[in-house]
Structure 1
Amino acid sequence: MNNLKRRLDEIGANWADDLPFVMWYDRTTPKVATGQTPFSLVYEAKAVIPSEVKVSTHRYANATEEGNQVEMASSLDTIDEPWTSAQIRMAAYKQTAARSYNKNVRLRTLQVRDLVLKKVFPNTKN
């Protein structure tokens, strides 16, 4: 969300016109937690970005319908690999974040008759 907000702040007043491009950028950028793009995790393929269509890169210029079908059929054998690696990376990322957060936690043991502040919420008042 911070990256999305930063990109829209850079655009300024014309943010509504560029929102689809910013969203496409966000969906095709690899995330730190998974190491994959959200697009590749959903569709199991690399996205063709709009600039590749305009400039006609090698990958886009040589793509054919038959070649795409062959690529998709050959990738069925390794269909679970990106998800598995993303899950492993996400678990490691969560452990790192938890370790970083928990290093400032101080343990306290409470004894009988210690004063403790109890916050009462309206739904648990009774």
Structure 2
Amino acid sequence: MLKKNNDSVLAIALSPDGKVLVSSSDRTLRLWDAVSRKLLQTLEGHNGWVYAIAFSPDGKALVSGSSDKIIKLWKAGSRVPVQTLKGHEDWVQAIAFSPDDKMLASGSSDKMIKL
């Protein structure tokens, strides 16, 4: 059991190799060692609650979507987002990478899907 989230757990994602679990709680992402259950890293950068997270198929990137209407792309091991994507007019609630790692899809309360 992992108990170090600040609030309700809103989303989780498991890395493709099954070694890292990421959870979102409030405005933060927490990366956990899936075997030892130790907290590895906390990522901060959203101004709203994080409702959507996903690992890239190669496991080298992580993406998060938030009630701040923003998507952030994080490089594995980095505490700072490498890219910020704007364009939704409401909360980002769903996010997914294509299997070939070339496309990102996001869904929002603005009733839009963006690629």
TM-score relative to the length of structure 2: 0.25
Q: Which has the higher strand share?
A: 2
Work out which structure has the larger RCO, using CA pairs closer than 8 Å and 6 or more positions apart in sequence.
1
TM-score relative to the length of structure 1: 0.24
